[in-house]
Amino acid sequence: MSYLEYQVKYVPSGLKKLLYVSWPLVLLVAAVSSMGFIMLASIAGGQIDTWAQPQIERFGLGFVLMMLVAMTPIWFWRSMSGVAYLVSIGLLVLVELIGEVGMGAQRWIDIGPLRLQPSEVAKITLVLALAAYYDWLPARRVSNPIWLIPPLLLIFAPVVLVLAQPNLGTAVLILGTGGAVMWCAGVHWAYFATVFGAVGGAVFAVFESRGTPWQLLHDYQYRRIDTFIDPSQDPLGAGYNITQAKIALGSGGFTGKGFMQGTQTRLNFLPEKHTDFILNTLAEEFGFLGSFTLLVLYGLILLFLFHAAMQCRDRFSSLLITGIGVSFFLLFAVNMLMVMGLAPVVGVPLPLVSYGGSQLLVLLIAFGLVQSAHVHRPR
């Protein structure tokens, strides 16, 4: 029995719940999504029905789902955590068997008009499962090595399956999200220090060994790593995309070239302009003002998530909100680092803005969970 159950009588009920929804968060999500609609319309040369309209329709569906999830009591979602997690793992296995491959490494299952990417779902169900686990686990056992095994298994099951797709970007995001939840749950910092130390040491060893008799990888593997880290070494391949992306972003300047005036976008120099590189289109057409505004909106979303997490006084809710927040942060941070040439291109879309059905839906449902926790917190 957690704090939540003791305090159920202080939780709002019925239509009164609507008053307790965090409307600023809803507005911020809608605002960011709207920036996406505008950019999608611009990229399609003013054509609404190419990308913008399907995106708006999915946003509408996702918004309804978000509100439905928000109205449902958070303890129901907590009781569903295990089931949801197992279903998403099942989907990951299924997609491995029957899924379709496209755009490099994304795997999806076609469900009617919707393309379901189980890896997106798994990110949220993992947070649910971890939050439920630590809500159940007495605090004194959190750092006990035996009790570290279940959460690690929970994390590595989806990570391994996603890596097998192979989708490195999403695998890293899942790993980061899971780690962040464990961190917030109070796992002793020494574990984290050990892991970071070990990973750092391994990376250091791999690079130090290069050119020595005890070289750990083959030369071609090093070269692959080199191009991965610094695409400009391969100016016509991977480097071409990132170079053009930076040109698009930088050429926007402070105020941008104007709606539908981005030459890099319009003349097709920019790759993946409606998905992974949509920030560059935004930056080209609306300049620093546009891109920085988006960054500020993302920051405000994080701020409200943090605020909501702090307001919840039960562990499940606050861990859930924190986990979703970290997951959301990692998405846009990795995407932005990638398209601004600070990180290798790993195929992570810009949350809420990039064109893509399942990610938008999953994110909106995740925000629904946040709202549910926020609405149903005891007062």
* C-beta of 55 vs 335, nearer to other proteins: 335
Bond from prior residue into 166 cis (ω within 30 degrees of 0): yes
| Residues found near other proteins in the complex (CB under 8 A) | 1-3, 6, 138-140, 180, 183-186, 244, 246-254, 263-264, 266-269, 283, 287-288, 291-292, 295, 298-299, 302, 306, 309-310, 313-315, 318, 322, 326, 329, 333, 336-337, 340, 342
Shortest Cβ 299–other proteins spacing (Å): 6
Shortest Cβ 296–other proteins spacing (Å): 9
H-assigned helices in 21-117: 23-43, 52-71, 74-98
* C-beta of 170 vs 327, nearer to other proteins: 327
CB 331 within 8 A of CB 319: no
Shortest Cβ 245–other proteins spacing (Å): 10
* C-beta of 120 vs 314, nearer to other proteins: 314
Strand partners, 100: 108
Shortest Cβ 59–other proteins spacing (Å): 24
Shortest Cβ 235–other proteins spacing (Å): 13
* C-beta of 298 vs 367, nearer to other proteins: 298
Listed residue (74, 96, 94) closest to 86, CA to CA: 94
* C-beta of 196 vs 208, nearer to other proteins: 196
Q: Listing from the earlier edge strand, what are the strands of the sheet with 100-102?
A: 100-102, 106-111, 114-116
* C-beta of 131 vs 361, nearer to other proteins: 131
Residue with tokens 């709606």: 259
According to DSSP, the β-strands at 114-116 and 100-102 are: unpaired
In one letter, which amino acid is 317?
Answer: S
Shortest Cβ 69–other proteins spacing (Å): 23
* C-beta of 54 vs 271, nearer to other proteins: 271
Shortest Cβ 276–other proteins spacing (Å): 16
Listed residue (182, 177, 194, 199) closest to 147, CA to CA: 182
Q: Alpha carbon of 185 to those of 101, 135, 246, 318, 355: distances in Å? A: 36, 9, 39, 10, 34
CB 133 within 8 A of CB 149: no
Listed residue (299, 282, 373) closest to 333, CA to CA: 299
CB 17 within 8 A of CB 375: yes
